Amino acid sequence: MMVALKDLPKEEPYAPGHRLCAGCGPSISVRMALKASRGPTVVVNATGCVEVSTTIYPYTAWRIPWVHTLFENIGAVAGGLEYAYEALERRGQLKGKVDIIALGGDGGTFDIGIQALSGMLERGHDVVYICYDNEAYMNTGIQRSGATPRGAATTTSPAGKVIPGKRGKKKDLAGICAAHGISYVATASIGFFGDYIDKVRRAIEVDGPAVVHVLAPCPLGWRSNPSDTIKLAKMAVQTGLFPIYEIIDGKYKLSLKPGRLIPLEEYLKLQGRFSHLLKPEFKDELEAIKREVEDEYKRILSLAGEHVT
Amino acid sequence: MPGAYTGDEAAAYAAKQCRVDVVAAYPITPQTIIVERFSDYVADGEVDTKYLYAESEHSAMSACVGASLAGARVFTATASQGLALMHEVLYLASGLRCPIVMAVVNRALSAPINIHGDHSDMMGSRDCGWIQLYAENAQETYDLIVQAFKIAEEETVQLPVTVNLDGFTVSHATESMKVLSDEDVDKFLPPRKPIFKVDPETPITVGAMALPEYYYEVKRQQEEAIQKSKGVVKMVGDEYGKFTGRRYGFMETFGLEDADAAIMCLGSTCGTVRSVAKDLRAKGKKVGLIKLWTYRPFPTEEFLSTIKDLKALAVMDRAISFGAPYGALCSDVSSALQNTGMDIKVMNMIYGLGGRDTPPSTVREVFDEALRTAKTGRVKERIRFLDVRE
Contacts of B205 in chain A (CB under 8 A): 55, 60, 62, 65-66
CA nearest to A211, candidates A181, A251, A241, A177 = A177
The 10s digit of each residue's pLDDT in B21-60 is 999 999 999 999 999 999 999 999 999 999 999 999 999 9
Q: H/E element holding A20?
A: none
> A168 pLDDT band (50/70/90 cuts)?
very high
pLDDT > 90 in chain A, percent:
93
> A202 pLDDT band (50/70/90 cuts)?
very high
* Interface contact flag, A81 B69, Cβ < 8 Å: yes
Nearest to B48 among A58, A63, A90 (CB): A90
Helix then strand count (H, E) for chain B reads: 12, 16
> A17 pLDDT band (50/70/90 cuts)?
confident
Distance, in Å, from the CA atom of B67 to the CA atom of A85, rounded to the nearest integer, reads 8
Q: What is the mean pLDDT of residues A13-33?
A: 96
pLDDT score recorded for residue A309: 67
DSSP A109: I
Cα-atom radius of gyration of chain A, to the nearest Å? 19
* Interface contact flag, A51 B209, Cβ < 8 Å: yes
* Interface contact flag, B52 A79, Cβ < 8 Å: yes
Say if residues A60 and B205 touch (Cβ distance below 8 Å): yes
Give the residues across from B289 on adjacent strands: B254, B263
pLDDT of A121 > 90? The answer is yes
pLDDT score recorded for residue B249: 98
CA nearest to B89, candidates B63, B121, B123 = B63
Q: Could you tell me if B204 lies within 8 Å of chain A, comparing CB atoms?
A: yes
Asked whether this complex has an ipTM greater than 0.95, the answer is yes
Contacts of B69 in chain A (CB under 8 A): 67, 81, 84
The 10s digit of each residue's pLDDT in A50-71 is 999 999 999 999 999 999 999 9
Q: What is the mean pLDDT of chain A?
A: 96
pLDDT score recorded for residue A257: 83
Dihedral sign from CA coordinates of A20, A23, A24, A29 = positive
Contacts of A280 (CB under 8 A, 6+ apart): none
pLDDT score recorded for residue A223: 98
Nearest to A83 among B50, B58, B207 (CB): B50
Q: What is the mean pLDDT of chain B?
A: 98
Q: What is the DSSP string of A248-274?
A: ETTEEEESS---PPPPHHHHHTT-GGG
The 10s digit of each residue's pLDDT in B147-190 is 999 999 999 999 999 999 999 999 999 999 999 999 999 999 99
pLDDT of A308 > 80? The answer is no
CB contacts < 8 A, A to B, total 156
Contacts of A86 in chain B (CB under 8 A): 50
CA nearest to B366, candidates B303, B241, B273, B294 = B273
- Please give the C-alpha separations between residue A114 and each of A8, A108, A120, A147, in angstroms, as whole numbers: 32, 7, 10, 12
Rounded to 5, what percent of chain B is helix, strand, coil?
40, 20, 40
Q: At what angle do helices A193-205 and A25-35 cross, to 10 degrees?
A: 50
* Interface contact flag, A65 B56, Cβ < 8 Å: no
Low-confidence ranges of chain B (pLDDT < 50): none
CA nearest to B261, candidates B339, B348, B361, B366 = B366
pLDDT score recorded for residue B101: 99
* Interface contact flag, B198 A40, Cβ < 8 Å: no
* Interface contact flag, B69 A94, Cβ < 8 Å: no
Residue A221 main-chain phi, psi, to 5 deg:
-75, -30
- Please give the C-alpha separations between residue B329 and each of A85, B4, B108, B332, in angstroms, as whole numbers: 40, 32, 16, 5
pLDDT of A203 > 70? The answer is yes
pLDDT of A307 > 90? The answer is no
Q: Best residue in A69, A71, A94 to probe B by mutation, most B CBs within 10 Å?
A: A69
Contacts of A146 (CB under 8 A, 6+ apart): A106, A110, A111, A170, A171
CA nearest to B304, candidates B272, B332, B273 = B332
Q: Could you tell me if B96 lies within 8 Å of chain A, comparing CB atoms?
A: yes
pLDDT of A248 > 80? The answer is yes
CA nearest to B266, candidates B364, B153, B173, B349 = B349
pLDDT > 70 in chain A, percent:
99
Say if residues A212 and A200 touch (Cβ distance below 8 Å): yes
* Interface contact flag, B58 A62, Cβ < 8 Å: no
* Interface contact flag, B200 A68, Cβ < 8 Å: no
pLDDT score recorded for residue A2: 72
